[in-house]
Copies of this chain bind each other. A is one copy, B any other.
Amino acid sequence: MAQLDAILAHIDSELEGSLERLFQLLRIKSISADSAYADDCRAAARWCADTLSAMGIEAAVRDTIGLPMVVGHYRGAGESAPHVLFYGHYDVQPVDPLELWTRDPFDPAIVEVDGEKRILARGAADDKGQLMTFFEAARAWLNVEGRLPVNLTVLLEGEEESSSPSMVPFLTENADELKADVALVCDTNMWDRRTPAVATMLRGLVYDEVIVEAASHDLHSGLYGSAARNPIHVLADILSGLHDSDGRITIPGFYDGVAEPTAEQRALWQALDFDSAAFLGDVGLSIPAGEAGYSVLEHIWARPTAEVNGVVGGYAGEGAKTVIPAEASAKVSFRLVGEQDPDRVRDGFRNFVKDRLPGDCRVRFIDHGGDRAISQPSDGPWIRTAQQALSDEWGCEAALIGMGGSIPIVTQFKHMLGMDSLLIGFGHADDRVHSPNEKYNLDSYHRGTRSWARVLAALGA
């Protein structure tokens, strides 16, 4: 442990230099969604590759059909050491509306708010601050020990904020080069200000669009009203029927593959003392809307959903128009858990719709994709190891948490490279990622760097 103590002490004493390197990266306007910033994005990729290479992790900027990837390799830990892949992204969200920022989003600074020191800049949390916690942990290892305890591949993309169009082709072409024992993915949050977390469950997703058609063209509701089938009514009946009065989804077979939380999981989640009143209260709500018999945490981590994300039909302008539309449509998504099969869920939904379609109506569907849930046993070796390292740093047991959404890269690593991910990050819910005045707590940055140094040590032990 003397070795690790020296590394942690180095991180503490080098904090100022570490922040200066972070600020260099934050000053680069790498907005991937706006092609006017393509050169800035390339500059950010170059900066990352140069920084890694200078540390001893040989890295290169790699062209794609879009913005480049950065790939680095370190093989100095020897054959018997584990091989981990670290993933992050160097691009950031646009900064509009600029007038809501309290300072230039690309002129980072540390500001003190409510007794907390915060790094204020676009990308401070998402994802430059988070990825630099890993870079700086690796730098401390290399500076103090002259080596890393694990073999390492680094993969950084520049299109994470633009739907990652180049990622699947790049993973396909470079699967052998990128495959490792486990991936480290850094853009997640802590459980709370004091409690670090490893995310072990991500819900899957099926997204489908349904278009119900009736008459051959829009009709006048005076001339045809009540005689002609109204597709909005048909759609409302179908959507209304998706849940029963207990909030349970009524599609036959929908719950196949959904397991009840185990007693151990329930006990762990209970212990997290989740403030569901605050969670809902923050968005103006007070009554959990999901299935009866489950807690809010279970609703968003461990239960599947059917949510209508959009509905449109007929006249949507101002005022009144007496139309019976020829069609009405809805976008419907399902969050999946456990072993639910996306194809079977989609088929089940489509059959549910067809079974409820009155005569004279036709239905079309548009497939917007789907992915299985990710669920890793909480007693898996990587997770236990990382959890212990985080607990050591923060002085309390790291939480094993679920996430209601999905992270595409985690699914891609799982299904394209057969690789599990360790999801560890030090963000907070109030970091305002994607919004004006994005921030990353200085404590997250400093102790996040220390945390990664410990995780690397534990993985390599």
- Give A residues with C-beta under 8 Å from B: 203, 205, 207, 209, 214-217, 219-230, 232-233, 235-237, 239-243, 247, 276, 279-280, 283-291, 296, 299-300, 303, 305, 307-316, 319-325, 328, 330-331, 333, 335, 358-360, 368-369, 403-406
**What B residues does A319 contact at CB under 8 A?**
368
Contact status of A283 and B217, CB under 8 A, knowing A236-B236, A333-B322: yes
- Nearest chain B residue, comparing its CB with the CB of A368: B320
**What B residues does A221 contact at CB under 8 A?**
305, 307, 309, 333, 335, 405
- Decide if B299 touches A328 in the complex (CB within 8 Å): no
**What B residues does A314 contact at CB under 8 A?**
308-311, 331
User: CB < 8 Å: which of B225, B288, B310, B315 contacts A316?
Assistant: B310
Given A227-B290, A307-B324, list of 8 further CB < 8 A pairs? A203-B222, A209-B320, A221-B405, A223-B404, A224-B404, A226-B290, A226-B300, A228-B283
- Nearest chain B residue, comparing its CB with the CB of A239: B236
**What B residues does A207 contact at CB under 8 A?**
320, 322
- Least distance between A332 CB and chain B CB atoms (Å): 10
- Nearest chain B residue, comparing its CB with the CB of A229: B289
**What B residues does A330 contact at CB under 8 A?**
232
- Least distance between A262 CB and chain B CB atoms (Å): 20
Q: What CA separation (Å) do A224 and B279 show in the bound complex?
A: 9
- Least distance between A139 CB and chain B CB atoms (Å): 33
- Decide if A222 touches B404 in the complex (CB within 8 Å): yes
Q: What CA separation (Å) do A445 and B323 show in the bound complex?
A: 30
**What B residues does A224 contact at CB under 8 A?**
283, 300, 404
Q: What CA separation (Å) do A216 and B331 show in the bound complex?
A: 21
Q: What CA separation (Å) do A75 and B232 show in the bound complex?
A: 53
**What B residues does A236 contact at CB under 8 A?**
235-236, 239-240, 308, 311
Contact status of A309 and B324, CB under 8 A, knowing A240-B236, A368-B319: yes
**What B residues does A328 contact at CB under 8 A?**
311
- Least distance between A446 CB and chain B CB atoms (Å): 27
Q: What CA separation (Å) do A309 and B405 show in the bound complex?
A: 34
Q: What CA separation (Å) do A324 and B307 show in the bound complex?
A: 8
Q: What CA separation (Å) do A374 and B279 show in the bound complex?
A: 54
**What B residues does A286 contact at CB under 8 A?**
359-360
User: CB < 8 Å: which of B226, B241, B405 contacts A247?
Assistant: B226
- Least distance between A162 CB and chain B CB atoms (Å): 13
User: CB < 8 Å: which of B239, B296, B322 contacts A405?
Assistant: B322
User: CB < 8 Å: which of B229, B279, B285, B323 contacts A214?
Assistant: B285
- Decide if A315 touches B331 in the complex (CB within 8 Å): yes
**What B residues does A283 contact at CB under 8 A?**
215-217, 219, 224, 228
**What B residues does A276 contact at CB under 8 A?**
227
Q: What CA separation (Å) do A242 and B324 show in the bound complex?
A: 16
Q: What CA separation (Å) do A229 and B303 show in the bound complex?
A: 15
Choose among A203, A214, A276, A284 the residue with the greatest number of B CB atoms under 10 Å from its CB: A284
- Least distance between A244 CB and chain B CB atoms (Å): 11
11 contacts between A and B (CB under 8 A): A205-B322, A225-B335, A226-B305, A229-B289, A232-B330, A240-B241, A286-B359, A308-B313, A309-B325, A311-B313, A312-B312
User: CB < 8 Å: which of B215, B279, B299, B335 contacts A285?
Assistant: B215
Choose among A221, A280, A335 the residue with the greatest number of B CB atoms under 10 Å from its CB: A221
Q: What CA separation (Å) do A276 and B205 show in the bound complex?
A: 46
User: CB < 8 Å: which of B216, B222, B308, B310 contacts A335?
Assistant: B222
Contact status of A287 and B321, CB under 8 A, knowing A226-B335, A236-B240: no
The 3 closest A-B pairs by CB, nearest first: A222-B405, A216-B284, A310-B314
Choose among A203, A279, A312, A335 the residue with the greatest number of B CB atoms under 10 Å from its CB: A312
- Nearest chain B residue, comparing its CB with the CB of A243: B233
- Nearest chain B residue, comparing its CB with the CB of A324: B307
Q: What CA separation (Å) do A337 and B283 show in the bound complex?
A: 44
Q: What CA separation (Å) do A236 and B330 show in the bound complex?
A: 11
Q: What CA separation (Å) do A243 and B240 show in the bound complex?
A: 13
- Nearest chain B residue, comparing its CB with the CB of A286: B360
**What B residues does A309 contact at CB under 8 A?**
221, 232, 314-315, 320-325
